[in-house]
Structure 1
Amino acid sequence: MWGVVVLLLALSSGALSLDKLNMCMDAKHHKVDPGPEGQLYLQCAPWRDNACCTANTTAEAHNDNSYLYNFNWNHCGAMSPQCKKHFIQDTCFYECSPHLGPWIQKVDQSWRKERILNVPLCKEDCHSWWEDCKHDYTCKNDWHYGWDWSTGSNRCPEGSKCRKWTDVYPTPKSMCEEIWSKSYLYTTLSNSSGRCMQMWFTGPNPNKKVAEYYLNSARQQQSFALTTLLLLAVTSFSVMMF
């Protein structure tokens, strides 16, 4: 029984020692470790003090059909500039953020070994994104899967139809949560709350404190769960002894 206790404590110590507040995903274009990148391009510039992306990656993030993923934003006609700026910012956030550790999950995909899941976005980001795209068109609600890649870039799959944005995504919540397979979690939290991640910011990156809050919450939950298991183990051992 005490061997189990020692094992639980060891696993707990190892899990809690991971530096999830300053790390990069194991993905196609990410750096191994975050660090300063003084020349980040346009909308990606806010991450220049500590980034998981390179200048070349951020330059490509602003291009249509860039080499990053050969993704065609204009699959249902030309995407409006006001809508496209949010997808550029989304790409910057995904490629450059060093503070996504609490939401990084292992995956087995050809182009990445890790992804983000349920990152809590501030309501301002989701609402402005949806508002600026609501007059655009798309043929799919989940943009991660199901495209026709036969030409080298994504096209609408056979049998699909281009529909107005608001028909595909009736609400900001549906868009933020569905468009990248639950990468983001819609919240009603404001960007002043310190409890949601911001895609758009100026000055020092506010997301480190948000990640720290969620990591500490997870640690507290893990500590409580392990304490409960240990108490149960000790109780069971005592019953067996007497």
Structure 2
Amino acid sequence: MGMEDRCLPGGKHKASPSPEGHLGTCHLYRENSCCSPDVIQDLTKANDIYWNRCGNLSSRCEDYLQQVECFYRCSPIAAQWPHPKRPTAVLAVPFCQNFCDEWYDACKEDLTCARNWLTDWHWGPEGNNCNRECISYGQMYKDGKELCETIWDDSFAVSTDPCECLTLSASDTGFSASRSRHEDSDSIEEPETPKKDSRRSGRKGLCPGSPLLHRLKKNLRKRSVFMEDVEGSGSGF
């Protein structure tokens, strides 16, 4: 089983990705998902950590937190960055600088009381509680890079290489089920991004020689060979 055919380990992840019909907020991953609908019913409680300990978040800020949580719970790409010390976690997933900057801009007026959401809470019977006063994200983090590389400990890293970073949009998910299997695998371009994400990606497509592009081509070739074998098998199924 290759890395593209597995999910992160842990009770909230499936053993291997497969299509899911109803993923709600995480619909981006419905064609090939490492999560089932029941584990995304309440995304505001991320890994048993409530987001709103300083009050409700703005819809723009919450949207970015949901994207990050959907990626962790549902994306099969996440398994390519396993954490060596925490098996259910990721390490240094490369986020694009512009994604982090826009996440910061969306949340900078919202309030939080924890800088590192894995280590900075006081835990009690009702879960995570503040250890310090609530301040704005803009006060807690100096910029988008610091936000991305701190809020979930060492889970994410900022990359300035547009060929090797993620925007948590359709461009990260590989080919879609609607792509023709006869499409030229040497001319893969970025899938159309949903309108709400159009402001985020500075990429026109994945770059030649990019390992991410190589993985997409490999997946597309595997799918093409598999479909040809099935159609030519004469099995009658």
Q: Percent of aligned pairs with the same residue?
A: 29
Shift of 1:38: 1.5
Question: Equivalent residue of 1:83, what SS?
Answer: helix
Please give the alpha-carbon distance, in whole angstroms, between the structure 2 residues aligned to 1:30 and 1:145: 23
Kindly indicate whether structure 1 or structure 2 has the higher relative contact order, using CA contacts under 8 Å at least 6 residues apart: 1
Question: Equivalent residue of 2:65, what SS?
Answer: helix
For structure 2, the residue ranges without an aligned partner over 5 or more in a row are: 177-187, 189-205, 216-237
The amino acid that maps onto 1:101 is A
Q: Give the TM-score taking structure 1 as reference length.
A: 0.68
For structure 1, the residue ranges without an aligned partner over 5 or more in a row are: 1-17, 218-242
The amino acid that maps onto 1:35 is S
Aligned length in residues: 184
User: Contact 2:77–2:173 (CA<8 Å) still a contact in 1?
Assistant: no
What corresponds to 2:173 in structure 1? 205
User: Contact 1:125–1:200 (CA<8 Å) still a contact in 2?
Assistant: no
Q: Decide which structure has greater helix share.
A: 1
Runs of 4 or more above 4 Å deviation: 207-210, 214-217
What corresponds to 1:44 in structure 2? 26
User: Contact 1:37–1:50 (CA<8 Å) still a contact in 2?
Assistant: yes
Q: 1:73 pairs with 29, 48, 51, which one?
A: 51
Question: Equivalent residue of 2:42, what SS?
Answer: helix
What corresponds to 1:172 in structure 2? 144
Please give the alpha-carbon distance, in whole angstroms, between the structure 2 residues aligned to 1:151 and 1:69: 16
Residue 131 in structure 1 maps to residue 105 in structure 2: yes
Q: CA 1:101/1:216 → structure 2, altered by over 3 Å: closer, same or farther?
A: farther
Q: Give the TM-score taking structure 2 as reference length.
A: 0.69
Q: 1:141 pairs with 115, 133, 142, which one?
A: 115
Residue 55 in structure 1 maps to residue 37 in structure 2: yes
User: Contact 1:105–1:116 (CA<8 Å) still a contact in 2?
Assistant: yes
Please give the alpha-carbon distance, in whole angstroms, between the structure 2 residues aligned to 1:46 and 1:93: 9
Give the CA RMSD over aligned residues: 2.7
